[in-house]
Chains A and B, each alone.
Chain A
């Protein structure tokens, strides 16, 4: 099929060495009217420097309030192919592993009912099927769900949980991030598909403090694998690193944030009591050093992007939790947190913002968590604090 619209500005972005999204849209345009008109619409945006998509709309599949993002062009007469251009979020398998058979199945459904364009994957982690019309939503859902796929989260709901690949291919996985993510997803299906919260709630699970899934920056609940006990050392392998040119003093010892390592050229020593488990030494000497063997997770809460009152990073609410199926302790904690959020949260107020508004101490009391030094960077610096009735001598 020849291209319907002239796209001189977009054509610029077919040049160059890095993979081109324009080439991708043009490939889809060989067999898709959606993609043809998307090129025209996007070219206009490049020319006018403004978006041509309207605010969302009321579309979805029956019974669900999540998983479909309604999208309409503001100039449908000019570009009828993208008059409707809804997104379908399909819940990815944990860890983003696929068989080609599974991927081809999804492609087949999408070529039949949609634009042939995808994101592998969206920011949150879903398989994003980009662009279809309202009447195709039910057929897409029937086709996909009958093949074992379900939709992901959107709106004021549990958003599709995602994780690093953890135990599947990483020696630093202190927790089975893929299993935990799958269990959370299955446990909270209703909360994902039928929005009932003040706003979105994201789970991200990282196997270790390297945090390849960026959980600490963008998950309302960040679950980060860690350990107790001593870092395991293979002294022979330490020597190999030294012999192969690593300056252990400079690159490892001097860069340890807690200054708990020493190296005299023959023995590598760690004062584990002083180690804060940042993982620098382990990450740089993968063959010589390994995390300790008592594994679990640190649970952090509250991160989000800047809207509305500034970006937050998650902070510690449970320093150490054993993470073993069926993950009852985790689910009980989550349910308590949600109950409190449901009671006090305002529309569009994330859990982190609610805690800021009503105070971390209120949260700890209401959810029943004991205060611990691991929860704070430092104690308060002001002399203003609350006492309760039972603290007062009558």
Chain B
């Protein structure tokens, strides 16, 4: 799978979950790897690119989660 496509899938998963359930990094890796039949390391690499670009961020709320950055 193209990395850009994978990034889109990850982003959409986080987007869909917003306001319902906060996702941990490991929730995303497990779910996307299982759904797409990929290695967790591939999902992780794609997620990291989203993070480095600031499209997704880590948040902390009694535990660390992955979320879409709040709009300014």
Direct contact of A and B (CB under 8 A): yes
- Apart from A196-B24, A348-B63, what 4 extra A-B contacts exist at CB < 8 Å? A60-B58, A63-B51, A65-B57, A194-B58
Residue of B nearest to A345 (CB): B26
How many B residues have CB within 8 A of the partner chain? 20
Are A156 and B52 touching (Cβ within 8 A)?
A: no
Instruction: Select which of B25, B52, B62 is within 8 A of A62 by beta carbon.
Output: B52
Are B48 and A63 touching (Cβ within 8 A)?
A: yes
- Bound CA–CA A65/B52 (angstroms): 11
- Bound CA–CA A199/B29 (angstroms): 16
Are B48 and A196 touching (Cβ within 8 A)?
A: no
Q: Does A70 contact B (CB under 8 A)?
A: yes
Instruction: Select which of A58, A70, A347 is within 8 A of B24 by beta carbon.
Output: A347
Chain B residues near A70 (CB, 8 Å)? 60
Q: Quote the shortest CB–CB distance from A106 to chain B (angstroms).
A: 24
Residue of B nearest to A69 (CB): B60
Q: Does A306 contact B (CB under 8 A)?
A: no
- Bound CA–CA A154/B60 (angstroms): 9
Instruction: Select which of A60, A62, A155 is within 8 A of B63 by beta carbon.
Output: A155
Are B26 and A155 touching (Cβ within 8 A)?
A: no
Q: Does A56 contact B (CB under 8 A)?
A: yes
Q: Quote the shortest CB–CB distance from B5 to chain A (angstroms).
A: 22
Are A347 and B60 touching (Cβ within 8 A)?
A: no
Chain B residues near A60 (CB, 8 Å)? 57-58
Q: Does B64 contact A (CB under 8 A)?
A: yes
**Chain A window 143-168, contacts with chain B (Cβ cutoff 8 Å), 1 for yes, 0 for no:** 00000000000111100000000000
Chain A residues near B29 (CB, 8 Å)? 196
- Bound CA–CA A63/B53 (angstroms): 7
Are A348 and B62 touching (Cβ within 8 A)?
A: yes
- Bound CA–CA A62/B25 (angstroms): 16
**Chain B window 35-72, contacts with chain A (Cβ cutoff 8 Å), 1 for yes, 0 for no:** 00000000000001001101001111111101101100
A to B CB contacts below 8 Å, 28 in the list: A56-B61, A58-B57, A58-B69, A58-B70, A60-B57, A62-B51, A63-B51, A63-B52, A64-B58, A65-B58, A65-B59, A65-B64, A66-B58, A66-B64, A154-B60, A155-B60, A155-B63, A156-B63, A156-B64, A157-B64, A194-B48, A194-B51, A196-B29, A197-B26, A198-B26, A198-B63, A348-B62, A348-B63
Q: Quote the shortest CB–CB distance from A39 to chain B (angstroms).
A: 28
Q: Quote the shortest CB–CB distance from B13 to chain A (angstroms).
A: 16
Are A58 and B51 touching (Cβ within 8 A)?
A: no
Residue of A nearest to B54 (CB): A62
Which residues of A43-65 are within 8 A (CB) of B?
56, 58, 60, 62-65
Q: Quote the shortest CB–CB distance from B56 to chain A (angstroms).
A: 10
Residue of B nearest to A155 (CB): B64
Which residues of A248-283 are within 8 A (CB) of B?
none
Q: Does A291 contact B (CB under 8 A)?
A: no
Please judge, given known A-B contacts A63-B48, A63-B52, whether A194 and B25 are in contact too, CB under 8 Å: yes
- Bound CA–CA A347/B22 (angstroms): 11
Chain B residues near A66 (CB, 8 Å)? 58, 64
Chain A residues near B57 (CB, 8 Å)? 58, 60, 65
**Chain A window 58-90, contacts with chain B (Cβ cutoff 8 Å), 1 for yes, 0 for no:** 101011111000100000000000000000000
- Bound CA–CA A62/B51 (angstroms): 7
